[in-house]
Amino acid sequence: MKRKFKAGVCQMLVAGQKDDNLAKARSMIREAAANGSEIVVLPEMFNCPYNSRLFPQYAESFPAGKTFKMLSEAAAAEGIYLVGGSLPERENGNIFNTSFVFGPQGEFLAKHQKIHLFDVDLPDGLSFHESKTLARGKVITVVKTAVANLGVAICYDIRFPELSRLMVLMGADVIVLPASFNMNTGPAHWELLLRTRAVDNQVFVIGAATARDTSASYVSYGNSAIVGPWGDIIARADEKETIIYADIDPGEIDKIREALPLLKHRRTDIYHIKSQQ
Ligand SMILES: O=C(O)CCC(=O)C(=O)O
């Protein structure tokens, strides 16, 4: 089923202590739900500073870890769908950058393990290598909810148009992207990527970023945004800690695709894209 709903994005400031981050996330989820959000989204690595060295230290195994307990309890207490940003997840001896999705009874619905790891050496000196401590996910994730189908990807995943397209071909109406772009690639590419994936696929895109902390080793760009299927920005944050909201009507997708039938006009007789899963 698809119907109108409100989405809330918690652009939270991530601190050094995990417990402080869990408390902050919990209170922002409460506020977002109190303001009518049926889907609430947290940012990438919301329980842990974005630093490869720290991921093993903050990692948790599902379902025992306290972050999962908080997310499940929060989803149930507020009666919402919760896309729990991402956190370092320990699984079978590996650590993944994983987003967990819970339903309104606190039930676990799905998880997405980041597929494309951020391993870069940028000209301004920003060097980040997630693969030093993280393993690559292998599964494309689309979660059915009572209001819309959510395609879940994490940060760098948005740079790979094949992934978004496959999620959309699997039925995603909304691409949900916990993220943390930086002060180099953020101003250049963040909004452009969110809007391009929305326009390419005629879907909503929710980019949930961490707030900017200029004293952190990795400075987040912030600027969380919710983009409509026409490529229009319907809600946007600046760099500070805040919650943004948008009313999302999946019916808009059908109207836009009727008027401009991009998916129908694909030349699958000439090219096609398929997942290996
Ligand atoms: O793609 C980018 O520019 C930023 C990606 C990133 O920070 C991440 O994947 O965590």
**Mutational pocket test of ligand 1: of 51, 54, 184, 185, the residue with most ligand atoms within 8 Å of the beta carbon:** 185
Exposure pattern of 139-156 as b/e (b: 16+ CB <10 Å)?
ebbbbebebbbbbbbbbb
The CATH number of 5-259 is 3.60.110.10
60 in Cβ contact with 66 (< 8 Å): yes
Give the position, in ligand 1's atom list, of the atom nearest the Cα of 97: 10
pLDDT band, residue 1 (cuts 50/70/90): low
The pLDDT assigned to 103 comes to 98
Q: What is the mean pLDDT of residues 264-271?
A: 97
pLDDT at 192 over 70: yes
Task: Output the pTM of the full model.
Answer: 0.98
Q: What is the mean pLDDT of residues 15-21?
A: 97
Residues having CB within 6 Å of any atom of ligand 1: 44, 118, 155-156, 159, 180-182, 185, 189
The pLDDT assigned to 276 comes to 87
What's the mean pLDDT when you consider all of the chain? 97
Q: Where are the domains of the chain?
A: 5-259
pLDDT at 158 over 90: yes
**Mutational pocket test of ligand 1: of 96, 116, 132, 155, the residue with most ligand atoms within 8 Å of the beta carbon:** 155
The pLDDT assigned to 124 comes to 85
Q: What is the mean pLDDT of residues 247-261?
A: 97
